Structures are given as structure tokens and as C-alpha cells.
A = this chain, B = another copy of it.
Amino acid sequence: MEPIFSTTITKIKGSQKFEREDTLVREIKLELIVNGEKVGAVMATPVDQEALAIGYLMSENIIERFSDVTSLKLLNDGMRVEIEAKVNQKNIKKLNAEGVVISGCGKSMTANIDPEAIEAKVIKSDFSISAALLSKEMGQFYTECPLYEQTGCVHTAKLFTDAHTYFIGEDIAQHNTIDKVVGKAQMAGIDVTNSFLMVSGRLSSEMVAKAVMHQIPILASRTASTCLGLMIAEKFGLTLAGFVRGDTMNVYRHPRRIHV
């Protein structure tokens, strides 16, 4: 299935009303089947579905590493991913359970971080980048983002794993963009624990928790963090930056990884 769809719509301009063709982004329900069992379904844009599935299952600690995957198939016109892999069965059960409350702003966390596991998830990487590099990359953020160019209706993530390598994830759902870029990196055999991640949208708790679950040390956006996003970054040692515009930015927590 193509990720975009063309249809006739009605354009209004001043007192004129006329028909014209328009291009919209698709939104599907992607089913995830692991070892023959349906573990869930996510609303997603049908591009890079395999990477999304791998990134999602790794973020939820269901799959530990890509080499544990023995089979990966995209079926049903792109609406179903079937995976055979060594999995953590206990975390599949936790997927639809409720998360853990972090004090400070209220609840957060997706399903599989329990309080005892927080210490194990604290990001200890010494990786750092210059503020100038972050500013430069934000200035050309939408380079090579075809769905954004065609529809103006997707979120984007870019994961920079070294000076010459980055991965792009585009999706109508913001959290999927992170799973897509991480899934792509993992499928390419590239470690993400010394990388930086840039996203197009707001740094809500869900986005910040995703970065933590993938152990990415730096997360940046052109726009703001929520209070809970900041609290999670504080607790898990994530460098979190917002409002990266021109040569300025707000580093909410752990600024040591961004040097001037």
C-alpha cells in the first residue's frame, strides 16, 4: 500500500469554490504478530512498517536485540507484520497494563519500566555534541522527508548515529517516528546508545520515555517539553533540549552533553 492517497476535494478561495486533486497521507492499523500471537496494533503511516515493529518491540523490552529475530514478514497489503523471535513473554503481558507514576508532574512511562528497573535504565553515556551541530541539523531538519513534502501531515524523527549516518522516520503518529528510526538503525546493526535524536513535535512524556527506553542520550525538538517530559529526562539522565531555533535552545535537563 502506498503511504499517500490522491482524491478530489473542494477548494475555496475567496468567493470561488472549485474541485481539485489533493494528496493525503494514509493512516492504517498495523497488526503486530509475534510468534503467532497478536500482541497489539498501532495506528501508523504505511511506510517502514518492519522497522516500526522492531523499534516498538525493542522499546517495550519484548525483543532485546535484532539478532534475536529469525523471521520478519510484511503481509496483508502492508497492514500486518509477522515476526518470529526470541522474546520476553512477561513483557508482552505487560503491554496493555498501566504505567508507573513518576512523582513531580503525575504519571508517565509506557508499560515496561517498573520502579525497580529505573536504575537500570538511567542513561550513563558520555556522548556529547556541540550546540552548533544541533542548531545546524535543526536548520535543515526536513531535508529528505518525502511524506512531509507531499502532505504536510506527518511527524518526523531523525536519528544521527555518527557524523555521516542518519535515519529518518515519518509517521502520522509522533511516537512511531522514534520507533521507526531506532528500528532502522537496529536492523542495520548500528548501536544507538551514542547518538542524538531530533523530532518535529512536542516533547511529551511518551516521546521522552521512548528515548529513554531506547537508551538514546540526547533528544531535541524545535518546540517545547511538557513538565512530565522534563521530569522523566531528569530521572533517567537524558539530555533534553527544546526550542532549538537559530543559534538558541533550551536545555531542560542534563546540559553536560551539549557543549558550546
Contacts and interface: CB of A to CB of B under 8 A. Distances in A.
B22 A250 contact: yes
A88 interface: no
Contacts of A27: 105-106, 108, 204-205, 226-229
How many copies of this kind of chain does the complex include? 2
A15 interface: yes
Interface string A18-41: 000010111111000000000001
A172 B203 CA distance: 10
Interface string A147-174: 0000111000000000000000000110
A248 interface: yes
A153 B258 contact: no
A216 B15 CA distance: 25
A151 B46 CA distance: 33
A98 B96 CA distance: 12
A224 B149 CA distance: 12
A125 interface: no
A27, A29, A99, A247 interface centre (most CB from chain B within 10 Å): A27
A225 interface: yes
Contact of A12 (B12, B223, B258): B258
A24 B233 CA distance: 14
A16 interface: yes
A230 B24 contact: yes
A107 B41 contact: yes
Contacts of A28: 105-107, 228
Contact of A98 (B41, B79, B98, B258): B41
Given A26-B106, A260-B15, A226 B9 contact: no
Contacts of A98: 41
8 contacts: A12-B250, A26-B226, A27-B106, A27-B227, A29-B107, A46-B106, A96-B96, A151-B224
